[in-house]
Structures are given as C-alpha cells and as structure tokens.
Amino acid sequence: MGAMVVSNRAPSRRQSILRVLRRLLVAVIALLALLAAASGIYLLTLPSVASAPQRVRAILRTHGEPAGSLPAPARLVAAVVSTEDEHF
C-alpha cells in the first residue's frame, strides 16, 4: 500500500473561491428544485374552474344571499375584460 501524503499547505485562493462557488451553485440548484416542487404541488392543489358556479352558490347560500340569475351588466363585463386585457 502506498503511503498517503498529507500536505500542511493551506488551499490556494483559487481553490477556496472554486469551493465557495461550487457550494453556491449546489445551493442555488437545490433552491430551484425546491421551488419547482412547491410550485407543482401548489398547482395540483388549486380547485378546478369547472366547479366555480357550485362554489359561488354555496358561498351565497352561506351568507343568505339570493343566487343571481340575471346576466351581468354589459358595462361591468366590458370593464372587467378591459382590466384583464390590460394586465395580461
């Protein structure tokens, strides 16, 4: 067996910088993986839009409000669409 040579020299500045950069890269990759996993879980737990009318009726029933069967006023619809178009 060969003898292991132990050096008492301190690592060079370049080696120290590379070690720090490597650790930083690993930390950033781990953080991005965690963020991706959390985002995926969040998206999977969002309720479906298909059940929106039933949920609205349930909320209105809880608050004692009658369910509105009238269509929304055209001006209100135009304002909402305009606002959404502006943001997206």
The answer to whether the predicted template modeling score (pTM) of the entire model surpasses 0.75 is no
Asked if 26 and 33 touch (Cβ cutoff 8 Å), the reply is no
Contact call for residues 56 and 65 (beta carbons, < 8 A): no
Question: What is the chain's pLDDT, residue by residue, as a tens digit (88 residues)?
Answer: 556 666 677 778 889 999 999 999 999 999 999 999 999 999 999 988 888 888 888 988 898 888 776 677 899 899 988 988 776 6
Domain segments of the chain as ranges: 13-67
CA distance 78 to 28: 44
Question: What phi, psi does 17 have (nearest 5°)?
Answer: -65, -40
